[in-house]
Structure formats: C-alpha cells, structure tokens
Amino acid sequence: MLRIGLVPIARPLFRGSRLGLETTTAQALEALGPRLGFELVYRAPTVVDAPQAEAAAQAALAHRLDFLLLQQVTFATGEVFLPFFELPLPLGLWALPEVWEGGPLPQNALCGLNLGVSLAQRPAKWFYGRPEEEWFQRRLELTLSALRGVRILREGRVLLLGGTAPGFFAFAALPETGLKVERAELSELWAALAEVDEEEVQNRAQALEELSEYSSEELLQSLRLELALERLARGYDGVALREWPEIPEQLGVMPYAAMARLADLGYTLAAEGDAMGLASMLALRAISGKPALLLDIALLSPKGLALWHGGEAPRAWAAGPTRLAPHFNRKLPAVRDMALRPGPVAGLRLLPDRRAAVYGGQITGEKGYEGDSSYLIRPTWAAQPLTPRQFLASWLNHRLPHHLAVGAGGLEPPLLEMCAWLGLEVLPPQPEEERLVW
C-alpha cells in the first residue's frame, strides 16, 4: 500500500474556509484507499500561514510518504507553498471546485492551484475536482501506478549473480535511481546446488504438468538448478543472472526452463546479467501487477518486429499451450517454447546518465522463432506512433542495449510519469532512416 499525506490549505477571509470541506473531502479520499491501493497515513491541520506550512511540511517528511497532496480548499498565496516544494517527496496540488456558482466567490481554489503550479520548480501533479469524480480518480490512479514504479526503483534490492554475459559490455551499467544492487559470484550458485534436497527435486518432478519433449528424469538437473536459484533469490526483488556459458558447460542444461518456472512462482529474473534490464522489469511489474519480460528484436518483417528470447517467459504470457523443449542452438534441456499472448504492451529501458526509453505497441500472438516470441505491431515511442521500421531505427539510432523490457498493458502514461518523478530524461523517437545519426 502506498503511503499518502494530505495537507489542506485555506485563507480564512474566504467563506469556503468555514464549510468543513477539508474534513468531508479527506474522508472521501480515504475511502478510495482500499480500491486504489493507498493508505492516508498523515492528515495535517488546515494550514493558513507560513509557520504552519513549515510545521506541516516537516511532519509530512517524518511520515515517510510516497506522495503528498496539498489541497487548495481556498485560494492561498505563495509563501505557504514554498516549504512543501523543498521536500524530497512527489507532490500533488489539488483544488476543490467551488461549492456554488454566482454571487460572492466562496473559495477561489482553482486560482490558488494555478498560482501554486506556477511557482513549482520541479515535477508536481495537479488535480481538480472531488474525490468521487471520475476525472479526479483517473488522474490519481495514474499517479499511484507511477509511484509504485518509483518505489521499487528507489527502495528495491536485487542480486547480480555472476556478473554480465561475456562481451555484453552494455549490460555492465547499474541503475542510478537508488535501487540496491548486491553482487555474488557463480560459486554461490554451485554451493546452493550442492545443498539442494533431492526429495524436493523428486517432488517437483512428480508435479510437472507441462508438455515436454523430455522425461521427468531428463529434467532433474534443470529442477535442481531451479531450486538453487530459488534459494538465492529469496529476500531479493529480482536476480540478474549470468546464465551462460558456465551453467550449460558445467551443468549440461540451459537455465531457461528453471527461470521460466520461477517466473511462474512470482520471481523476477533477468538473463545475461542485465541489471538495468532487471530494474526495468521490476518497474513494469510494479506498475502493471504482472510479470515482465526481456526480449530481443530478432527481425524486421512484414508481420511487424519479431521479438524473441531464449525461453524463460512465465506462462502468464503464453498465447496457448507451452512446452519444454531443447535449446534452439545448444540442443540442451530445456527452454519454454511458446507464443506470447496477444494484446497491448509497454516497455521501459533504463539507461546510464539518468535516461530512459519508454515505448509500447501490440503483440499479435503469432508464434515466431523457437523460445518465447511473437510480433510487435503499431509501435509507439514516448506515446508517439511509429511504424515498425521507424521504431527499429529509433532503437538503433539511440544505440540502446539489445534487451527490451516489456510489460503487459497500456502502461506508457504511468511510465512517463514515473520517469518525471525520478528525474529521468525520456529519449524522444529518432526515426531517421537514411543519414548517419550519432
């Protein structure tokens, strides 16, 4: 549950300051919490001057809020806003509508909102309306979704296990949002494997229900790896794993089926030691409430952009039946082979120097290459429609790493807002197809 604070601001000269609006609207806001996923953990007394504003700002800070709403009950002048603008908190400015039209102006709250946003020197979200109104709720729900991404990227804890895959130098960058990255060598994985309980392995083998080209006996090593990875992943929000070349060379299996089955259980694992890709997946998961994927762009086709990866996708992404099959290249057990579920998707790629790419489109659901795959059509970039060729050109022109993090749903609006709260520069599309772009 996100933690929200509310500070009402009023000017006693206005009639609207004496109608109890701050109490009734706070109660209505609090009633939205269970449905929208927040708690109203701090309610300040009504602020009428600068000293009270300073006291309320410090109290809000002490409550470890995810979001603070300043409520313009009536018009107020700039000195009461300034202490809140200095807080290291995402801030919303909310004006209540007038309680009547005509005659003496009761509140002038919308004008106060206008004054407040004109003074803000950093991102602040404005709101207008009553809590029960659809427009207010829609804007608040969007912000709450974005703030879930903010929270995981600022407060999460992940494991980088084994470093990055050999030669994938672009994956060596680490998140700059506050996400804590802890490192471990693959020796810790070998140690965890040595401690796997064989009874647990047999129990998982007996519970296998997925279509498979392998017998349960042939999957035992994959299941041992699954249990070892699960043990190491506990206590972390995600794991970026160097899954080759050591795992297939030393264990004789590919790790993708193990990664896919762990994703079914709610774990988030990123292939090839891609810590920035993992952070992007965690933000997508926090916003959507569903698992995210890392995918490569494999082909520009008349069908769209062929998206593909080695076979570690959870069944929640499957368009139909899945099967455990040999790896397309090494022919070792096992990968999960499946088409990706059709529907809208959105993506995020966090980048060094506090930059990000935000994109989206539609997955067709048609199977592509062996592994987890399908086609992306009607792509967008920072909410701007592009052709598949323009999307590919933008990706290459920006020289982005080769993993697209993809989440289920139309998530671009909360992703763009999340980037604003985090102070990340969102790259514009750069679809130049002819000349050199550098």
Say if 140 falls within a structural domain: no
Closest CA to 33 of 114, 131, 171, 120: 131
Q: How far apart are CA 335 and CA 222, in angstroms?
A: 10
Q: Do 198 and 97 have their domain in common?
A: no
Residue 353 class from Cβ within 10 Å (0-12 exposed, 13-18 middle, 19+ buried)? exposed
Q: Which residues have CB under 8 Å from 228's CB, separation 6+?
A: 189, 192, 193, 195, 196
Closest CA to 53 of 88, 31, 81, 34: 81
Q: What is the largest CA-CA distance in the chain?
A: 83
CATH of the domain at 317: 3.20.14
* Digit-coded pLDDT (tens) for 120-135: 999 999 999 999 999 9
Q: Do 100 and 170 have their domain in common?
A: no
Q: How far apart are CA 406 and CA 363, in angstroms?
A: 10
Q: Do 118 and 245 have their domain in common?
A: no
| Angle of helix 198-207 versus helix 220-233 axis, rounded to 10 | 110
Q: Do 164 and 89 have their domain in common?
A: no
* Digit-coded pLDDT (tens) for 407-421: 999 999 999 999 999
Domains in the chain, number: 2
Closest CA to 4 of 180, 169, 141: 141
Q: Do 77 and 179 have their domain in common?
A: no
Strands, DSSP E only, in 285-433? 293-301, 304-309, 323-325, 335-339, 343-351, 355-363, 372-381, 384-385, 404-408, 425-426
Say if 137 falls within a structural domain: no
Q: Do 178 and 296 have their domain in common?
A: yes
CB 142 within 8 A of CB 413: yes
Say if 144 falls within a structural domain: no
pLDDT value at residue 437:
86
pLDDT value at residue 197:
97
Task: Output the CA torsion sign for 286, 416, 112, 96.
Answer: negative
Closest CA to 400 of 168, 172, 166, 170: 170
pLDDT value at residue 438:
82
How confident is the prediction along the chain (438 residues), in pLDDT tens digits per residue?
999 999 999 999 999 999 999 999 999 999 999 999 999 999 999 999 999 999 999 999 999 999 999 999 999 999 999 999 999 999 999 999 999 999 999 999 999 999 999 999 999 999 999 999 999 999 999 999 999 999 999 999 999 999 999 999 999 999 999 999 999 999 999 999 999 999 999 999 999 999 999 999 999 999 999 999 999 999 999 999 999 999 999 999 999 999 999 999 999 999 999 999 999 999 999 999 999 999 999 999 999 999 999 999 999 999 999 999 999 999 999 999 999 999 999 999 999 999 999 999 999 999 999 999 999 999 999 999 999 999 999 999 999 999 999 999 999 999 999 999 999 999 999 999 998 988
How many beta carbons lie within 10 A of that of residue 157, not counting itself?
13
Q: What is the extent of the structural domain holding 360?
A: 157-426
The CA distances from residue 356 to 84, 183, 359, 396, 436, in Å, are: 27, 24, 10, 14, 22
Q: Do 328 and 203 have their domain in common?
A: yes
What radius of gyration, in Å, describes the C-alpha atoms of the chain?
25
Q: Do 76 and 204 have their domain in common?
A: no
CB 171 within 8 A of CB 274: yes
